[in-house]
Amino acid sequence: MQELKMEELEKAIWHAFIFLADKQSGLTQKSKLKVLTNNLGNELGFLKSEEKLDKCSSTELNFEEYLKLLKSEVFTDSHLSFTPKAESIKEICWILCKNKVWEFPDQPKLKSSDAFTLWKLFNFLSERDENGQYMLPLSVDRAEIEHLFDRFGHVTGQRPDQKSMEGALNKESERFLFPKLLSLFQNQYLNRLVDDEISMGLNEIYDELIKDVMKKGMMSKRGTRVATWKERFFVLKPACLLYYTGPDQKEMKGSIDINQSCAVVPTQEKTCRFMIRTKIKDYELNVSDMKSKNEWITVLQKAIDNDDKDIHYHRDELIIRCQNRWAQKQRLAEEREQQKIRQELIEMKSRELEEEKQARAEAEARLQLETALREADKDHMKELEQLLEEERQAKRDEELVRAAQARVLQEEFEKREELERLKAMQEQLLAEEQSKREGIEDERNKQAQLLAAAKLQLEELQRERSAADEQLQSAKEKIKQVETERSKMEQKLKFTVNPIGLARLVQPKCPTFITHRGYGAFPLYDLQKNHKNKCLNNSTENQEDLTDNDGGRSSN
């Protein structure tokens, strides 16, 4: 209990310190703190307490340094018995900082005493860490504010306006400073309750939370000397049960010490009665209904069980609620972290799927490109095969032309031989004619006719030879054109560096002519071609000579 009272004093002193401190640095000049320290010392009967500040070398102090100095120099062991002065110290701090808490001076205000009570409730309900220690700056969690307003509404019968309450709470953060709490309380109740009702409600909650009143209410008590029942207002605290003449608690009629030697026993005769047995005497009490009876028996038994423990029930409940909130925040933080990890995994999987999709699209694009290149290569191969086929066809046509030319030459050669034979026969006949001029004139004319017919045949053979020469020249031009197309196609095929599949160009092969000195400078094909050309030229010259000789003979 002593720890709780010291804690509440530290919170009150913090408010006064913050009022004097610089807003940016959070430090307070030592000269300002001397007035506050002097007032605190005077209340505790410690004169000239402000002189203790001179022990500090710095001119400015933070709250932790100032509180440490107060505990070591002012709140010493000889001055710890200041419980009656605790309220005076809180009131000094409240007077110093109360003008700061009203952010809207033009609005209606609570009475100073009611605002002071609400301020003390704020300090008591201020948020704590997971270890149960109060946190600076002092603030109250939203759940505690809702609990406070619900309890106030239960006491006064005026529930808070949930719509405006939720709107105000949603606009703020999770925690409230005292000016915000005061403004919210004034907006909720100043126009709905009179001052006395507000004071009664706040004092009721103050008694319950800070004075640690476990339960209070009206019960009937049976007298010990005179067996009569009288209505009394009972107030249960952790160590005693007080009873008054009325709810105003102005006249106390007595008290019952609550310890482990006591016992709470429900009576069997009457359903709404129970008895408190102590070492001195027994107390018989009566309530209005069974619900109230069970509540009183439960809370009395709780006070008896915890008699040997120096605890403050509402403070312990507040610490448990704060620890539960911290545990919930920790769970939410862990859940958010897990959600973040899951989200990162999902994003990573999405990126991997996107990369895989992109890689698949690139692979499909490459496959389409390769397919297009393959199709283009197939088209090029088809064109090349077509050109090769045209070249082979041209070569076959050339072979046919050469064969026809050779046949014509052979026939010409045979005709020449026939002409030679006829010429020989003619010469023989001429010789015989010279010897026998008579009777051979007809024979000579006949031979002349035969010679004319042979000339006609020779001319016909010459015309056929000219036609064969023209066909040969056409075949040569066609072969040259095919070779030109083939060279163009080879230039096109140079762009295709890497053939696809097993397709390869089919190159024409010409056997190389081999002599006794090694490979010849020309292939066998070229030598054969030159040989045929020579034979053709020789036959042409022989025919011309024969023609010249025949012409000479005719003139003779």
The pLDDT tens digits for 391-447 are: 889 898 888 988 988 888 998 898 988 888 888 888 888 888 777 776 667 777 888
DSSP 138: -
The pLDDT tens digits for 152-164 are: 888 888 887 777 7
Length of the chain: 556
What pLDDT sits at residue 78? 42
Largest CA distance in the chain: 211
Percent of the chain whose pLDDT exceeds 90: 5
Cis ω for the linkage preceding 137 (within 30 of 0): yes
Residue 300 near residue 277, CB atoms below 8 Å? no
Comparing 512 with 488, the larger pLDDT belongs to: 488
What pLDDT sits at residue 520? 53
Does pLDDT of 79 surpass 50? no
Among 16-25, 417-426, 489-498, the minimum mean pLDDT is found in 489-498
Among 38-47, 483-492, 504-513, the minimum mean pLDDT is found in 504-513
Instruction: Take residue 248 and report the two structure tokens written for it.
Output: 């105003």
Which residue carries 């120099």 as its tokens? 73
Residue 482 near residue 397, CB atoms below 8 Å? no
Confidence of residue 52 (pLDDT cuts 50, 70, 90): confident
Amino acid letter at 475?
A
| Helix (H), strand (E) at residue 176 | strand 175-176
What pLDDT sits at residue 234? 92
Among 221-225, 230-234, 253-257, 339-343, the minimum mean pLDDT is found in 221-225
The pTM for the full model equals: 0.58
Confidence of residue 171 (pLDDT cuts 50, 70, 90): low
> What contacts 185, CB < 8 A, 6 or more positions away?
110, 118, 149
Does pLDDT of 181 surpass 50? yes
Comparing 188 with 514, the larger pLDDT belongs to: 188
Does pLDDT of 519 surpass 60? no
Does pLDDT of 102 surpass 80? no
> What contacts 401, CB < 8 A, 6 or more positions away?
468, 471, 472, 475
DSSP 110: -
DSSP 252-301: EEEEEE-STT-EEEE-SS-TTEEEEE-SS-EEEEE-SSHHHHHHHHHHHH
Q: How far apart are CA 244 and CA 219, in angstroms?
A: 10
326: burial class by Cβ within 10 Å (0-12, 13-18, 19+)? middle
What pLDDT sits at residue 542? 61
Mean pLDDT across the stretch 516-534? 62
Rounded to the nearest angstrom, the gap between the alpha carbon of residue 377 and the centroid of all alpha carbons in its chain is: 46
